[in-house]
Structure 1
Amino acid sequence: MPFNANSFGVVALAAYQPDWELFATQLRSIQHQTHSNFHCIISADGGFDEVRDFVDRELAGDDRFQVVGFDDRLGFFGNFERALQNVPSEADWVALSDQDDSWYTTKIEKLLPHLNDVSLVAAQARVIRLPENKVVATSTQRKNVALDALLAQNQVTGSLCVFRRELLDLALPFPRLNTVSQVHDHWLAVCAKATGDALVIDDVVQDYVQHAGNVLGEVGSRKSVAKSLAHLAALSRRFQGSSSPAAMLRTANDLSFGWRGVMADTLRRRLGDDIADRGAGVAAFETGHHLVRPWKALVSGLRNGDIALPCFLEFVAGAPLELLPRSRKG
């Protein structure tokens, strides 16, 4: 079916202890979209009553907005999955929303027509830093890259994308790896790229708000070697329960090859023969890969600017465990 002004869709918003002022701004920016044929599912990862009552007060009973809540807290990755599991089958499209940004009123209207040609379309954002309300970047500068480069470094920010509803048939349930690199938008992007294609356009469609409570930030200063090691040690204690050298090596591997391997293996398993000509892009990061394949993709991506140097260095840090037999890595 063509995607047009009559297409019905769902905005899936993940909420967790929101800043109420920012949350109100985001809700109203969704409510005032020029494309109005949508239902907004707000998944409250704890604090259901507070979130539901706030939404009811702010939006004056707009029945397009529904808050769903659960007793167990899953974190942002699981909370987005839970929101998407509640998307009805009759929806034509799905948009993802954070709780603290601000959409421009024509966002959905601008993005939706692209779904006539691709499975997922993503745009750019202006980056605003609070509390000074300073513009720190006029664009997020995401780009279109090949599947292997997209697996290596995500170019799709969830809050900037809209995708076809049927993409969820492949993407759900989300694959799992206990690492901070495990993010929903990266997985959805590679699912789209491996099937009906993903497109990144240059249009700026919202403000991306940066503040102290962000789970993942957009703009930050580069870390020194010492700070990078300290950060890795902290992640290792969080995800491995230890900051020993062996645990830090495992963490570095999970951050790079590990999460990409989980995505590639899941795609291969779920798509089977349907992966067709996209298989080469997936093969670079599949578990048990030939060591030449990922490094060829990584070096090529670094040279042509599709993979940034910090991302490349994450793979360098994760490489030692790739030299071990699979039984010893696990």
Structure 2
Amino acid sequence: MPFDPGSFGVVALAAYQPDWELFRTQLRSIQNQTHRNFRCLISADGGFDDIRDFVERELGGDQRFHVIGFEQRLGFYGNFERVLQHVPADAAWVALSDQDDCWYPSKLETLLPYLSNVSLVAAQARVVRKPDNVVVAESTQRKNVALAALLAQNQVTGSLCIFKRDLLDVGLPFPRLNTISQVHDHWLAVCAEAQGGALVIDEVVQDYVQHGGNVLGEVEGKKGLAKSLEHVKALSRKYRGSTSPLAMLRTANDLSFGWRRIMSDTLRQRMSGNSPVMNNAIAAFGTGHSWSSTLRVLISGLRSGEVALPCFVEFVAGTPVEIFTKNRRR
């Protein structure tokens, strides 16, 4: 059945201790969309009463907005999974939303027609730093890449994408790996590219707000090598309780090979009728991956700019542990 751009869908927003001024701006930007046939589900990861009362007060009882609350804190990854699990069956599409950005009025209207041809469409954002309103970048400059390169490095920011609801049949439940590298948008983009295609367009559809409370951010994504080392060190301390060389190597492996292996293996289990493109991508990063396939994807991606140097270095740092664990699996 052809996709109807005017169809009903859901904006899935994950909220946790929001900056109330930024949250107000984001809610109003969603409320003022030119495409109005939607319901906004807001999952409160704790603090349900405060978030519910704020939404009701600010939006004047707009019945399209509904807060679902849970006292169990799951973190941003688990909270996005939870809100997506509540998307009703009659929704034709889903748009992901952060709590602190600002959508341009025609965002939904601009993106929805593309779902006639693909499973997921993503756009660009202007990067703005708060509270001083400095424009960090005029565009996020995401790009279209093949599945293997997308597995290596994500090109889809969750808050910039819309996807068909049936993508959740493959995407839920989310795969699990205890590290910050497990991110909902990377996983959903990989599922979409494998299922019906993912498309990134050049149009800027919102402001992507950077501030001190960001879990992940655009500025963080452009860190240099020295900051990459500090990033791995901090994560090693958090997730492994140590900054020893071995702990940091294991953390680097989780950030690189580990997360891609989890995604590849889960994709292989859930997708029927594997295509050559999907098989080649899984051969590069799945369990028992071919080193020749892995190196081909990473080196060609580095040369083309589809894999950034800090990401490539994380794979290099994760290689000793990957070699050791692969030998033990044999």
TM-score (norm 2): 0.96
Displacement of 1:132 in angstroms is 1.1
Partner of 1:128: 128
Partner of 2:58: 58
Who is 2:83 aligned against? 83
Task: Answer whether contact 2:261 2:286 (CA < 8 A) is retained.
Answer: yes
For structure 1, which segment, 166-175 or 300-309, has the greater mean C-alpha deviation from structure 2 after superposition?
300-309
State the Cα deviation string for residues 192-219 of structure 1 (Å, max 9, x = none): 0011000000010000000000111102
Distance 1:223 1:300, change over 3 A: closer
Percent pairwise identity: 70
Aligned mates of 1:32, 1:88 — CA distance in 2: 22
* Cα deviations by residue, 1:263-288 (Å, 9 ceiling, x for unpaired): 00100111143445422122210011
> Corresponding residue for 1:215?
215
On the 8 A contact 1:5/1:35 being kept in 2, the answer is no
Q: Which amino acid aligns with 2:247?
A: A
- 1:203-243 Cα distance to aligned partner (Å, 9 max, x none): 10000000000111102564453x44333222112111222
Return the letter of the residue paired with 2:307: I
Question: Which residues in structure 2 correspond to 1:1-330 (within 5 Å)?
Answer: 1-220=1-220, 222-223=223-224, 225=226, 227-275=227-275, 277-326=277-326, 328=328
Runs of 4+ in 1 over 6 A off after TM superposition: none
What SS does the aligned partner of 2:190 have? helix
Once residues 191 and 228 of structure 2 are traced to their aligned partners in structure 1, the CA distance between those partners, rounded to angstroms, is 30
1: CA distance, partners of 2:318 / 2:217: 22
Tell me the distance in 2 between the aligned counterparts of 1:166 and 1:188: 11
The answer as to whether partners of 1:10 and 1:93 remain within 8 angstroms in 2 is yes
Which has the larger displacement, 311-320 or 206-215?
311-320
Q: Which amino acid aligns with 1:291?
A: W
Query: In structure 2, what residue type is equivalent to 1:54?
Result: F
RMSD: 1.5
Identify if the C-alpha distance between structure 1 residues 228 and 325 changes in structure 2 by more than 3 Å, giving closer, same or farther: closer
Identify unmatched segments of 5+ residues in structure 1: none
CA distance in 1, matches of 2:45, 2:114: 32
- Larger mean Cα displacement after TM superposition, 284-293 or 273-282: 273-282
Structure 2 residue runs of 5 or longer lacking an equivalent are: none
Distance in 2 (alpha carbons) for counterparts of 1:311 and 1:234:
16
